[in-house]
Chains A and B, each alone.
Chain A
């Protein structure tokens, strides 16, 4: 009995400390998010806010995009917090499933930097805590052997690839995430942003890719693919990492969040390649001034269909989970957008890409449909079965059909 009392007392003391640290009196915090390391660091921190009066549950899954809309549509919502990115926030916004955060920021968010706030139509809809982008990884040893300077434009990349091939060092020195589907479309978006292209006619959901910028984008993607292995339409980010660490690739356009896995010689499995790897900002293209890369953020949003008490508890728990100490303790885990974060080697290139003026992946409501159409319809062009103009016409036709079905076009 005595032991029990002591345990209970100690437990209560801890609970008081924990909730005091997070500043939450009571409420339920239910988090849904994508499943990768940086996010689990954040959610593990959020868990420490649990106490007798504060419940914290976490569901991290790569299927979060398919769960989130139904789970947040019901009232009360299954989750109070959705961890989202540029693209996955859109369906929640489209259906009005997340709440404006401005009053919560006024009450609790004095330490947030304005840069973290994702604002749509004058309302803050999400708080970003990390950034990501695809950028250049290259082998300094191979470039040196071929006698080429580090590339700063995609035209340089092509010249470097030709030099490496001509010198007989590698037959297929380039790689990009060209896997048919989502990845291929993301590469198009990257390159198209660099070309200064738009995706839609201003103020409408009409596609605006059938033009010079679109053709130039595709021709550059095709020109690069001539220096990639014949199965380049199967290169996902993971596949590309394997190729690169096997020493088969000299220059690639890889995700910034995977930098640690490439340059840490102890865990990468190929210390020589890791040692020689240089991370650099995404190159510019076609004489443009901004890097050909879309910038991504990950952040959290609070469900609309939950009580104000739970919303406040969730907001405070997530602020606690993304406080500066978390970024300082895990400097290599992500490119944190948290105030006071000192960037390390692994996040320099993402930040350099951002500093050079790269644009964010569009949060337009119909972007997801265009992305899907790009992923499915560009493969024929990449295999050389049709012209760039035909491929873009196919993309636009396919997009128009799904946009009409989804109600964006009439």
Chain B
């Protein structure tokens, strides 16, 4: 009976999870294992308004269509897409490791491969933006709690704005501001007394700009969760700390932070997931020359000039999913362990 009740409660959510999570993941896995059929090419004369007629290739659509109808999923390629140069690049990495001029050369040449270039920025972005946004959010929350009651509403709204603005639009506006004619770009040129300073011109400055943007965008999320948490700090504990002679910092250190600690795990989980799929600022900042991310690689496969590389995009998606799972593993393990401990205690 207990099992039946339990099943009755979880069945709808299991069904929804299968429909909206398991099936799409299975579908991209299947997609990533197939590539398109060989196209039957023929040489024909092509004429356009300029340059007259030339002999160019054309796809023989009838022949290609019959191949497609026979096997609509495409040609089974196994892990070929995962291992090719534009993804894990196993052959290229092997060649680099066999023959190189020391560690610096290995790093430089691996960084030249598109997947690793994207992974490097994605990880740097995730691991810099997440902790800094958490710390910044905490201090903003403390600051807002100190504001007089009447002003608090507007201040909270203003502090939330960076998170409310659509990332694509917010990033685009900041992109314009960072140009050499923009208010931020021009001010920095004056401050550093360097007319050649362009935030968009070097990889390092582009990375810094994107990461600062990420912090600006993500801090309000941490802030609003901490702010909610701050309302639940028990006032009697705070008061007794004050009676014991704790100054403001000691109150924060020994009362507020321990009280809010569980929230940090939650915020970190959400921010890690959000930051790992960074895309919009790269598009808006037109930063692809200096920084790409895994999500950007998927976007680029699907928004080529004319062709869409579904297998390539699917393989990157699967690799991204694995990346998210690895990232979240520590906090998931911690939750699982505390769940087990609680179970053992009761």
Chain A positions within 8 Å of B, measured between CB atoms, are 65-66, 86-88, 90-91, 93-96, 115-122, 128, 131, 179-182, 185, 200, 202-205, 229-231, 233-234, 236, 246, 295, 297, 337, 354, 357-360, 362-366, 368-369, 371-372, 376, 379-380, 382-383, 386, 394, 397-398, 400-402, 404-408, 410
Contact = CB atoms under 8 A, between A and B. Distances in A.
A205 B57 contact: yes
A95 B63 CA distance: 11
Contacts, number: 180
Contacts of B55: 202-203
B39 interface: yes
B144 to A, nearest CB: 37
B284 to A, nearest CB: 11
Contacts of B219: none
Given A94-B61, A363-B46, 5 more contacts: A120-B44, A179-B286, A236-B286, A371-B305, A405-B311
Given A94-B59, A368-B305, A360 B198 contact: no
A366 B59 CA distance: 9
B3 to A, nearest CB: 46
B305 A401 contact: no
B198 A408 contact: no
Contacts of A231: 179-180, 198, 200-201
Interface stretch (B80-88, B99-107, B210-218): B80-88
Interface stretch (B30-38, B220-228, B271-279): B30-38
A117 B307 CA distance: 24
B48 A86 contact: yes
B49 A131 contact: yes
Given A182-B305, A368-B304, A337 B49 contact: yes
B59 A93 contact: yes
A397 B306 CA distance: 19
Interface in B253-309: 286, 288-290, 300, 303-309
A365 B48 contact: no
Nearest to A394: B112
B51 A358 contact: yes
Contacts of B38: 407, 410
Contacts of B289: 180, 233-234, 379, 382-383
B35 A120 contact: no
B58 A203 contact: no
B44 A122 contact: yes
Contact of B112 (A118, A128, A380, A407): A380
A284 B209 CA distance: 39
A382 B59 CA distance: 34
B35 A405 contact: yes
6 contacts: A90-B306, A203-B43, A234-B286, A337-B49, A400-B85, A407-B64
A386 B113 CA distance: 13
A236 B289 CA distance: 13
5 A-B pairs closest in CB distance: A96-B61, A121-B44, A230-B201, A180-B289, A368-B306
Contact of A372 (B75, B202, B290, B305): B305
A295 B84 CA distance: 34
A379 B49 contact: no
Contacts of A354: 49-50
Task: Report which residue of B38, B48, B179 has the largest number of chain A beta carbons within 10 angstroms of its beta carbon.
Answer: B48
B250 interface: no
Given A231-B201, A368-B307, A363 B36 contact: no
B221 to A, nearest CB: 29
B47 interface: yes
Given A180-B286, A372-B300, A394-B112, A402 B45 contact: no
A360 B50 contact: yes
Interface in B166-206: 179-181, 196, 198, 200-203
B62 interface: yes
Task: Report which residue of B37, B307, B312 has the largest number of chain A beta carbons within 10 angstroms of its beta carbon.
Answer: B307
A382 B288 CA distance: 13
Contacts of A230: 196, 198, 201-202
Contact of B35 (A118, A369, A383, A407): A407
A65 B46 contact: no
A406 B37 CA distance: 7
Task: Report which residue of B43, B49, B61, B62 has the largest number of chain A beta carbons within 10 angstroms of its beta carbon.
Answer: B49
Contacts of B326: none
A87 to B, nearest CB: 6
B243 interface: no
A356 B288 CA distance: 35
B239 to A, nearest CB: 56
B333 interface: no
B211 to A, nearest CB: 18
Contacts of A400: 85
Contacts of A229: 180, 198, 201
A96 B62 CA distance: 8
A182 B181 CA distance: 24
B117 to A, nearest CB: 9
Contacts of B201: 229-231, 233
B7 interface: no
